[in-house]
Amino acid sequence: MKKHNFYAGPSILPQYTIEKSIEGIKEFAGTGLSILEISHRSKEFVACMNDTIALFKELLDIPAGYHVLFLGGGASMQFCMVPMNLMEKKSAYLNTGEWAGKALKEAKLLGNAVEVASSKEQLFNYIPKNYTIPDDADYFHITTNNTIYGTEIKKDMDVKIPLVADMSSDIFSRPVDISKYALIYGGAQKNLAPAGVTFVIVKEDVLGKVSRPLPSMLDYRVHIKGESMFNTPPVFAIFAAQQTLKWLKELGGVGAIQKKNIEKAAILYNEIDRNKLFKPTISDPEDRSLMNICWVMSDNYKELEKPFSDFAKSNGMLGIEGHRSVGGFRASTYNAMPRESVEALVGVMKEFESKN
């Protein structure tokens, strides 16, 4: 039976990326060696790194003055690197979920980081609006997509101070006006590559303004100077990212994938809204994530949660359990998720409804 991979991350990758990864492991770029055992200083891998960065910049239409870095350590490492590199006196955070809260916690360890607004009191089921960002903060930090709670900031904000965004789970899902951001970062393991590499898009002129001494590995300027090879980069994960970016370009880029993502999400949200057994956790369509779609059982059908979970699993739907802090269900519909899988899940939801 076909398995449908709805995991929130690490998550589904394009079949193209998987096939090219196997080819690269068998032999990389005519070298006679596997991508798993090639020197990062070999001319073939340097070419791969350069092409990956070029594709990354092309697909996101990144303007001059920005650098793209590939680092190890995960987006969680960025939670401390961002304030280390950018916060001299004060920073401001929008608290829209668990990851946003973790980012804020790390910044507080390093200085005066303030929470400008939070939706915590309603289990993060909306994106706060109408808050005031302090003018004297060194930057304002947002998490554009909240993987656990299923909300998303889908429009680029206009902010007077440098804007920093964790885009771990929605990068490359839509066009982004990069010029509105000072720094964007994210783990690769949703829309880009297997876990093990983190991307950073950083505007050069926001760096070098803090007085604290920075360890080399935690200093963006060191990685810019080293062209992401200050130390050995995660070679294979970068190679895999290159394949995903090639696939995305061939498919028409971020504009084309956004259209598909909107369609896929509509199919599933429509069913959640329609099906008597279920109800969405996020009601405002503006705040609904196109990447992580969350729902729970309707009040009259709570006892069917476990039976539906089992029924879905027995029909090949993997990873649809909601995060333990929310319960219910979550289907992640990242770029690589085919429409057919979303339709198959909707079919399972309808079938289960007809039986109950």
187 binds its own copies (CB under 8 A): yes
Angle 250-255-260 (CA atoms, 0-180°, nearest 5)? Answer: 85
* Residue 8 or 304 having the CB closest to its own copies: 8
C-alpha to C-alpha distance for 160 and 178, rounded to whole angstroms: 15
Task: Give the span between the Cα atoms of 41 and 232, in whole angstroms.
Answer: 9
Closer to its own copies by CB, 162 or 196: give it.
196
- Out of 138, 166, 170, 287, the active site residue is 166
Q: Quote helix, strand, coil % in the chain, to nearest 5.
A: 40, 15, 40
> Residues near 288 by Cβ (< 8 Å), separated by ≥ 6?
150, 151, 152, 265, 269, 280, 282
* 196 forms part of the interface with its own copies (CB under 8 A): yes
Q: How far is the CB of 130 from its own copies (least distance, A)?
A: 31
Active-site residue, 295 included: no
Distance CA 264, CA 40 (A): 38
- Residues of this chain, 46-85, that bind its own copies according to CB under 8 A: 71-77, 79-80
Q: Which residues contact 325 (CB under 8 A, 6 or more apart)?
A: 98, 123, 148
Least spacing, CB of residue 196 vs its own copies, in Å:
3
Decide if residue 12 touches its own copies (CB under 8 A).
yes
Q: Which two tokens stand for residue 232?
A: 């050995």
Among 211, 213, 354, 355, binds its own copies (CB under 8 A): 213
| Distance separating alpha carbons of residues 31 and 18, to the nearest angstrom | 20
* Rounded least distance, CB 324 to its own copies, Å: 10
User: Judged by CB under 8 A, does residue 270 bind its own copies?
Assistant: no
Which listed range, 88-96, 216-224, 267-275, 301-309, lies at the site for its own copies (CB under 8 A)?
Answer: 216-224
SS3 186: strand
Q: How many residues bind its own copies (CB under 8 A)?
A: 66
Quick one: 307 or 316, whose CB is closer to its own copies?
316
Distance CA 308, CA 355 (A): 11
Tell the smallest beta-carbon distance from residue 44 to its own copies (Å): 11
Nearer to its own copies, 106 or 271 (CB): 106
Site residues (CB under 8 A) for its own copies?
1-3, 5, 7-13, 17-18, 21-22, 25-26, 31-40, 42, 71-77, 79-80, 102, 105-106, 109-110, 187, 189, 194-198, 213, 215-218, 230-237, 240, 316, 318-319
